[in-house]
Amino acid sequence: MTPEAIRLDHVSLWRRTQEEFSYDLKKTLFSLLQGKYTKPAKKQVLNDINLVVNPGEKIGIIGSNGAGKSTLLKLICGILDPTEGKVRVRGNIAPLIELGAGFNMNLSVRDNIILYGVLLGYSKQEMLTRTLDILNFAELNDYADMPVKSLSSGMKARLGFTVATDTEPDILILDEVLSVGDAKFARKSRQRIDHLWEKSSTILFVSHSLEYIDDLCDRAIWLNQGKIAFQGETKEAIDLYLSHLDVKEYTHNN
């Protein structure tokens, strides 16, 4: 039996709501002095999530905005720690959440490739040897020494995509980033994803494009208000999700 790539046991997450927190030493001190200090409120974002992903599985995650999809991915990436329960992940993860977050706008494209790569966990040496490949794939050779802020947003997305997918991670996390750039690059990036797909890396894929999910994933998870409402057959998950939306719309209209 192969060990599971990702395993979540009874995972719950409570987060502090940012609006209620004062961020203010002066105010906090005064409220303490006046005895009005209240502990910041917390809200449950994920509720008793149980999930097992085997190596090579492609899993789609669907759900409406705020259902906790991105939060779930962050937990799996290790960015957030669960309040209760246990998250176990085997293998290295390449997160592809909102491309280009790691870029420093004032540095050159070349420097950024190395910076981003090292942030993602590769060594500097490794990144130096891979820079050229990355520039080639992203078609940014002519821009190598220009600051990233001079690139168009499409080019930035291309750069982020290329750096993150340049090696073959064991687990790839995709948050709405299947096609980036112009039509030509979108095709290329799609090919690369297909390649990673075939290489049987485990993929977690969040998208609002249900067609993509239906097309690409073996299994789907429908998250609703921080809970797994359904996990299993992709088609069934999508149908359930859609009918749930219909019901909601129906009750709303009446």
Partner 1 sequence: MSIVHYQLSIILITEFEGTISPKSAGVRYNANYEFCFSLFMIIARKKTLEIWEKSPVWKDVKRYWELLSVLVPQNLKVRYRGSLLGIYWSLLNPIIMTVLYSTIFGTTFASYYDDSITNYVLAAVNGLLVVNFFNASTTQALVSIVESGDLLNKIKLPIPVFPMSMIGANIFQFMVGSFPLLAIVTLVKTHSLFSVILLLLPFSLLIVVCTGISLFVSSLYVFFRDLSYFYEIATFVAWITSPVFYPPDIVPEAVKPFINLNPLVPVIQIFRQVSLEGRFPESIYLIHGFCSGIIILTLGWLFVRRVQSAFMDLL
Binding site for partner 1 (CB under 8 A): 15-16, 18, 21, 23-26, 28, 74, 77-81, 95, 97-98, 101-102, 104, 106-107, 111, 114-115, 118-121, 123-124
As measured in angstroms, the least distance from the Cβ of 101 to partner 1 is 4
Whose Cβ is closer to partner 1: residue 23's or residue 250's? Answer: 23
Share in percent of the chain as helix, strand, coil (round to 5): 45, 25, 30
CB 76 within 8 A of CB 49: no
Closest distance between partner 1 and the C-beta of residue 121, in Å?
Answer: 8
**Minimum CB separation from partner 1 for residue 141, in Å?**
21
CB of 42 to partner 1, least distance (A): 8
Q: Which is nearer to partner 1, 78 or 154 (CB)?
A: 78
- CA neighbours within 13 Å on the CB side: how many for 141? 5
CA distances from 114 to 90, 123, 144, 166 (A): 25, 9, 12, 12
Q: Which is nearer to partner 1, 29 or 132 (CB)?
A: 29
Our CB check for partner 1 shows the closer of 28 and 243 to be 28
Q: How far is the CB of 240 from partner 1 (least distance, A)?
A: 30
Nearer to partner 1, 32 or 245 (CB): 32
Structure tokens at 125: 């040496």
Residue given tokens 């409120």 in the structure block: 41
Can you list the pairs that 237-244 forms with residues at least 24 positions away whose Cβ atoms lie under 8 Å? Answer: 237/60, 237/62, 238/62, 238/210, 238/213, 238/214, 241/62, 241/63, 241/210, 242/210
Maximum alpha-carbon separation in the chain: 63
